[in-house]
Amino acid sequence: MTYAQLRDQMDVPRRIHRVRAVDWLMVLLAIVSVGMLAWVWLADPSIETQELVFKIDTGICAVFLIEFVQRWRATGWGWKFLGRNWFEVLGMIPVSHPALRAFRLIRILVLVARLGRAVDRSIGDAVTQRLVNRFLGTVIEVLKKPVTVAVLEEVVVVLKTGHYAQNISRALAENQTELREMVLEKIKADPAAGRLRKLPFHDEIVGTVTDTAIRVVLEMLADPRTDEMISDTLRENIDQIRAAVRTNEQQRT
């Protein structure tokens, strides 16, 4: 679903619902969850306390999910409901676990989504909908560059630590028998090479040449110089990708 389609779905006028008891309960839970997240980030309590907060937050998210599914079912399981309330799905992510402390951007987005949920249930979805329509495109544009650069840097680290020649060498060694049979099969099926089958010791000669070629290839792949050559190739490609990303961003600005 594209951003334009999502925006069109969210632009569908909705009637501001009458605030019920369950709505106030959802508002209270949203405020409590936001308060707990903010307290954990600012106070930095012990790991045991953070784990307890995570369990409570997970229970609150479960209540959010149940209430969300009930409202979705009441609308007939329509996709427009998801298009209008996608931020509520984001707010159901329990991000208070200590292992997720490094993901500050996701935590901020979840906190904002839960605040939007509280506004949605107490004042009416028209307010949240207008804010989302106004700022969603801007948020996407602002986050797109750092996310792209961060993902690119992670890929670069993984690519630099790989030993691809050695991986290929191990794969060929494990399947050497099948590879030899396949080469012999292709040579026999070749119209030009097939004429040599009448020569004496044809199969032995072809087998010896095939084994020699495979052995030489395996030795070349196991050579550290091959890994270095592949690393140089990857480095040049990575530099080109980085330059392309920078050029694209400069043209947009």
Top pLDDT among 60 and 215 is at: 60
Q: What is the pLDDT of residue 138?
A: 63
Question: Average per-residue pLDDT in the chain?
Answer: 75
pLDDT category of residue 127 using cuts at 50, 70 and 90: low
Q: Are residues 227 and 169 in the same domain?
A: yes
Q: Are residues 63 and 126 in the same domain?
A: yes
Which of 113, 142, 171 finishes a domain? 142
- Going 104 to 105 to 111 to 112, the CA torsion angle's sign is positive
pTM for the structure as a whole? 0.47
Show the domain range for 192: 160-252
Q: What is the pLDDT of residue 41?
A: 82
Q: What is the largest CA-CA distance in the chain?
A: 94
Specify if 104 maps to a domain.
Answer: yes
Lowest mean pLDDT among 91-95, 123-127, 183-187: 123-127
Q: Are residues 107 and 224 in the same domain?
A: no
- pLDDT tens-digit series, residues 64-108: 999 999 989 998 988 888 887 887 888 888 888 777 765 666 777
Q: Are residues 116 and 177 in the same domain?
A: no
Dist. CA 146–CA 188, nearest whole Å: 55
Q: Are residues 101 and 208 in the same domain?
A: no
- pLDDT tens-digit series, residues 7-19: 454 444 444 456 6
Q: Can you give the length of the chain in residues?
A: 253
Q: How many domains does the chain have?
A: 2
Q: Are residues 171 and 216 in the same domain?
A: yes
Task: Give the number of C-alpha atoms closer than 13 A to the C-alpha of residue 52, restricted to the C-beta side.
Answer: 5
Specify if 209 maps to a domain.
Answer: yes
